[in-house]
Amino acid sequence: MNQKIIYFPKDGQPTIIANEWQVWDGERDEGGIPDLEHGLHKVLVPFHWWITHYKNADIIERANRGEIGVWFAADDDILKHADLIEEGKKLWPVVGAHFPIFRDGRSFSTATLLRDRFEWQGEVRAIGDVLIDQLLQGARVGFDAFELRPDQNLDVALKQFDLFSVVTQNSWRDQRATTAA
Amino acid sequence: MYKYDHIDQTLVDQRVIQFRDQVERRLNGTLAEEEFRPLRLQNGLYHQRHAYMLRVAIPYGLLSAEQLRTLALIADKYDRGYGHFTTRQNIQFNWVELEQTPDILAELAKVEMHAIQTSGNCIRNITSDAFAGVAADEYIDPRPVCELLRQWSTLHPEFAHLPRKFKFAINGAKEDRTVLLCHDVGIELKKNPAINNGELTADIYAGGGMGRTPILGSLIKQGLPWQVLPSYLTALLRVYNRFGRRDNLYKARIKILVKALGPEEFARQVEGEWAQLHNEAKQSKDNFTQAEWERVAKHFTKPAYQKLNTVSNEVILAATPETERAAFARWLDRNVKSHQIPGYASVILSLKPHGTVAPGDATSAQMNAIADLADQYSFGELRVTHEQNLVLADVEQTQLLHLWRAAKNNNLALPNIGLLTDIIACPGGDFCSLANAKSLPIAKAIQERFDDLDYLFDLGDISLNISGCINSCGHHHVGNIGVLGVDKDGEEWYQITLGGEQGNDASIGKVIGPSFYANEIPDVMTSLINTYVEQRTGDEPFIETYRRLGVTPFKEVAYKNNGKHSKGALA
Ligand code: HEM
Ligand code: SF4
C-alpha cells in the first residue's frame, strides 16, 4: 500500500496526507478482517464481503467505531445494491472504487453514480492501479482521494490538477465553461 | 466554419502542455511504454510498422485554407512532405518523431486544430456529411450539433477509458453520406412538424461497426430533442462503459453488447439510466442551452453568396472551348455536385489519380495548391470526404472551368468520383503494423488495369474498398466490391466480398469464397466487371445487378477464370 494519499476535497486544494486506510482484498486473514490492533486501524473491505458479513456483531461494532469502509470492484453493479449503500451512508466514512488496471474506466462510472445517484457526501477514494494520468478524470467524476500505485511520483501527481482551467462538460466538480460564455 | 473562442483555445493550448509533459515523462523513463500507450493514442499517436504516425482531427471534415497550409507545413517540417486523408475525415502523418509531437500539436493549436481523441478507447472524432450546409438534399445543417457534441466529448472524464473505441456519425440529409449505420452511434437529425413542435430532434442508432464482426446499427430512440443529447448519450455510454465486455478485445465494441442484449433490451437499459439522469431537478443542468447553440451556430452561417442564376451544364459546356469540352463534361458529370444556392456547385477534388501512391494521399505542394484554390473559388474553406477526397463546397458555376483547369495542373481533376478507381483503401502492410497484407499495390494494380476513362464512365457507380486486415479501416464490408487482406501460413492472400453498400440502403457484403493471390486480383476484377456488363439491363448500376442476380454468376466467373493460385505478389 501507499503510505501517502492525495486528498482533494471538492472545494479545497489537493494535498498529500498520510494514508489511514488499508485496503483488504477479502482473501487473506481467513478468520475475518485484518488485525486492526497491529496494523492500521481502519480498513476498506470488499463490498461483496460486506454483503455477506455485515450482520456479524464484531463487524457492526467496528463499523460503528468508524473503522470500516467498503470498496467497490470494477464489476460491482452498485445499482443492484442500492439499499445497502443507502444504509452504508451512515456507516462508512470512506468508500473506495478499484481500478484493476489503469485503462479500465468502469470505476469512473461507479464514482459518478455514487455522487450523482446516491448523493454520497463522504470520501470516495480511487484505489488499485491508479496512475498520475488518471487523476484529472478521477477528480472530476467524484473521487476526492487517491491512493496511487506506490511507484508513482506524488509531487508530479500533485501538479496534474492545475493543468486545465476550462472544461467542456459538466461533472461532479465543475460546470462546463461553455454555458458561461 | 467554427471559430474557437477563448474556451476552446485555452483547452487546446493546455492540452499541448499536458501532452508535452507526458512525452517528457516517457522519454525520461518515468512513464512506461505500456502506460504511455493509451495516453499517446488519445492524442492520435500510433506506433506503426516503420515509425510513429500522428492522426490529426478534422472535426466533421471541415477545414480552412489556413489550416490546410499548416498541415502542409507540418508535412514538410516534421514528415516526408505528404499527408494521408482517412475514411474518418482525419489526416495522418506517417513519419513523425515522438520528441517532436508536442511541437506539432503546438503548431496545430495555432490554427485551432488538435489530435485529441483521434484514437484510443474513448469517443473519437465526430464525423458527418462532407456536404453539410450545402448539399441540395439536406434538410438540417448538422454542424452545430456536431460541434456541440465535439465539445461535450472532448476530454470527457467518465468515458476516457471505455472498453473500446467509440465513433459517432451525424447526418442531416436525405441521402446518407456518413455510413451512419456502421458507427457505434449514428445520429439522424430531423425536423418533423409532428414531433416536438417541429423542433430539431434526433433519432439514435446504436451498435453498428465494421471490423471482425460487421453489424449495422439498430434504431433505439426516436424524436429526442437536441437539447437532451448530453444526458441521453451519457446514459448510453454509461451502460456501455459499465457492461461492455472487457475480457476480449474482439468482443468489446458496443455492437457486441447491443447484439448480446438485443437492441430492445439495450434501449430499455439506456432508457432506465436516462430516466434517472433526466429528471426535472437535473435536466436544466445538463441540457444544451439555446445560448450554447447560438454560440456555435453563429459560425455555421452561409458565406457571402452572390445573387446568381442557376446555369445548366449545357450552357456551361457551350461556353467551353471545344478542345476541352469532352474532358470537362466528364468532370462536371462526376466531380461536381448540386448545391442549395442557385448559381453554386460543390466540387470534389480527386485524391485518387490513377497510379497514385495511396488513395487519400496529398503532397504538401498539393495541399498548398488546394488551399489557394479554396481561397480563390470557395470562401477559403474545404472538406474531407470519408471516401478520402477533398471538396470545395461553394464554387460559382461560372468559375468551374477555371477551377477545373487549375485542379488539372495539380493532378487533382481526375473525373473518377464514385467510379471503380475511386478506391477507398487503408495503408495496409506498407505502413500499418496490424496488416495481414498490402492494400496499396492492389489499389494501384486495379487502377492500372481500369485506366480507360470512357470504360469507367460506362460502368458507372461502383465502390471498391480495400482493407489490409479484418479491422476494416478501408471499409471493405460496405464496398460493392470489397477486398480484404488475409494471412495464410505467413503469405498474403485476398478475400473478395460482394454486395456491400453505403448510404440509405447500407448493407454488408458477402464473402464469395476462397481467397486469391495478389497478382490474381486484377483478373478477378475484370471477370466480375465483365459479368456485370454482360448481365446488366440498361443503366442498372452494379449493386442492382448484383442484388438481382445474387452472388452465383459472379462467383462462378471469379473462380473459373482465376483462382489458379499461381504464386506471386504485386510489386
Ligand atoms: C496506424 C494505422 C492504423 C491502425 C493501427 C488502425 C487500427 C485499427 C483497428 C485495430 C481497428 C479495428 C477496430 C475494431 O475492432 O472494430 C480499426 C478500424 C478502423 N479504422 Fe483503423 N487503423 C489504422 C489506420 C486507419 C486508417 C488509415 C484509416 C482510414 C483510412 C482508419 C479508419 C478505420 C475505420 C473506418 C475503421 C472501422 C472501424 C469500425 O467502425 O468498425 N484506420 N483500425
Ligand atoms: S485495416 Fe488493418 S491493415 Fe488496414 S489500416 Fe486498419 S489495421 Fe491497418
The whole-number average pLDDT for the span B535-557 is 96
The atom number, within ligand 2, closest to the CA of B429 reads 3
pLDDT at residue B499 greater than cutoff 60: yes
| Alpha helix segments (H runs only) across chain A | 47-53, 57-64, 82-91, 106-116, 135-141, 154-159
Find how far residue B286's CA is from the centre of its chain.
30
Residue in A105, A153, A163 nearest the CB of B17: A163
pLDDT at residue B154 greater than cutoff 80: yes
pLDDT at residue B282 greater than cutoff 90: no
pLDDT at residue B520 greater than cutoff 70: yes
Ligand nearest to the CA of B440: 2
Residue A138 touches chain B, beta carbons under 8 Å: yes
pLDDT at res. B69: 98
The label of the residue with cell 452465383 reads B552
Which one, of B440, B370, B441, B433, lies nearest residue B406 by Cα?
B370
pLDDT-based confidence at A180, cuts 50/70/90? Answer: low
| Minimum Cα–Cα distance from A151: chain B residue | B30
Joined together, the cell numbers standing for residue A81 give 445494491
pLDDT-based confidence at B196, cuts 50/70/90? Answer: confident
Q: Could you give phi then psi for residue B33, rounded to 5 degrees?
A: -55, -45
pLDDT at residue B281 greater than cutoff 70: no
pLDDT mean across residues, chain B: 95
B63 lines ligand 2 (CB under 6 A): no
What 3-state DSSP class applies to B1?
A: coil
pLDDT at res. B356: 74
- B570 CA to middle of ligand 2, Å? 18
- Model-level pTM greater than 0.90? yes
| Alpha helix segments (H runs only) across B421-515 | 440-449, 453-459
Q: Which residue has the higher pLDDT, B283 or B407?
A: B407
Residue A170 touches chain B, beta carbons under 8 Å: yes
Other beta carbons within 10 angstroms of residue B77's beta carbon come to 13
Q: Do B25 and A137 touch (CB under 8 A)?
A: no
pLDDT at res. B48: 84
Residue in B152, B153, B158 nearest the CB of A112: B158
Question: In this structure, what DSSP letter does residue B252 have?
Answer: -
pLDDT mean across residues, chain A: 93
Least confident of B166-170, B193-197, B372-376: B193-197
Q: Are B55 and B92 in contact (CB under 8 A)?
A: yes
pLDDT at residue A31 greater than cutoff 90: no
Joined together, the cell numbers standing for residue A158 give 500533485
Q: How many residues in chain A?
A: 181
Which residues in chain A (38-57) have CB-CB distances under 8 A to chain B? none
B434 lines ligand 2 (CB under 6 A): yes
- B525 CA to middle of ligand 2, Å? 22
Ligand nearest to the CA of B86: 1
The tens digit of pLDDT for each residue in B293-345 reads 999 999 999 999 999 999 999 999 999 999 999 999 999 999 999 999 999 99
B88 lines ligand 1 (CB under 6 A): yes
| Alpha helix segments (H runs only) across A4-134 | 47-53, 57-64, 82-91, 106-116
pLDDT at res. B357: 74
Q: Which residues pair with A126 in a beta bridge?
A: A97, A146
The whole-number average pLDDT for the span B113-127 is 96
B256 lines ligand 2 (CB under 6 A): no
Rounded CA separation A6/A22 (Å): 15
pLDDT-based confidence at A29, cuts 50/70/90? Answer: low
The tens digit of pLDDT for each residue in B209-239 reads 999 999 999 999 999 999 999 999 999 999 9
pLDDT at res. B192: 87
- B46 CA to middle of ligand 1, Å? 11
Cα atoms in the Cβ-side hemisphere of radius 13 Å centred on B322: 0
pLDDT at res. B500: 97
What 3-state DSSP class applies to B395?
A: strand
The tens digit of pLDDT for each residue in B55-67 reads 999 999 999 999 9
Q: Which residues pair with A18 in a beta bridge?
A: A4
ipTM: 0.96
Instruction: Tell me whether residue A97 is exposed, middle or buried, using C-beta atoms within 10 angstroms of its C-beta: 0 to 12, 13 to 18, 19 or more.
Output: buried
Residue in B162, B277, B292 nearest the CB of A179: B292
B167 lines ligand 1 (CB under 6 A): yes
pLDDT at res. B569: 57
The tens digit of pLDDT for each residue in B403-454 reads 999 999 999 999 999 999 999 999 999 889 899 999 999 999 999 999 999 9
pLDDT-based confidence at A37, cuts 50/70/90? Answer: low
Ligand nearest to the CA of B486: 2
Rounded CA separation B356/B448 (Å): 10
CA-CA-CA-CA torsion sign (B537, B541, B545, B548)? negative
B358 lines ligand 2 (CB under 6 A): no
Q: Are B160 and A108 in contact (CB under 8 A)?
A: yes
Measured torsion, CA atoms of residues B333, B499, B521, B467, in degrees rounded to the nearest 10: 90
Question: DSSP string covering B46-99, please?
Answer: EE-SSSEEEEEP-GGGEEEHHHHHHHHHHHHHHSSSEEEE-TTS-EEEEEE-GG
Q: Are A166 and B10 in contact (CB under 8 A)?
A: yes
Which one, of B151, B143, B148, lies nearest residue B170 by Cα?
B143
Residue A108 touches chain B, beta carbons under 8 Å: yes
Q: Do B157 and A171 touch (CB under 8 A)?
A: yes
B432 lines ligand 2 (CB under 6 A): yes
The whole-number average pLDDT for the span A37-46 is 80
Find how far residue B77's CA is from the centre of its chain.
26
The whole-number average pLDDT for the span B176-188 is 97
Q: Could you give phi then psi for residue B290, rounded to 5 degrees?
A: -60, -35
From B469's Cα to the closest Cα of chain A, the distance in A is 25
The tens digit of pLDDT for each residue in B58-104 reads 999 999 999 999 999 999 999 999 999 999 999 999 999 999 999 99
Rounded CA separation B53/B427 (Å): 12
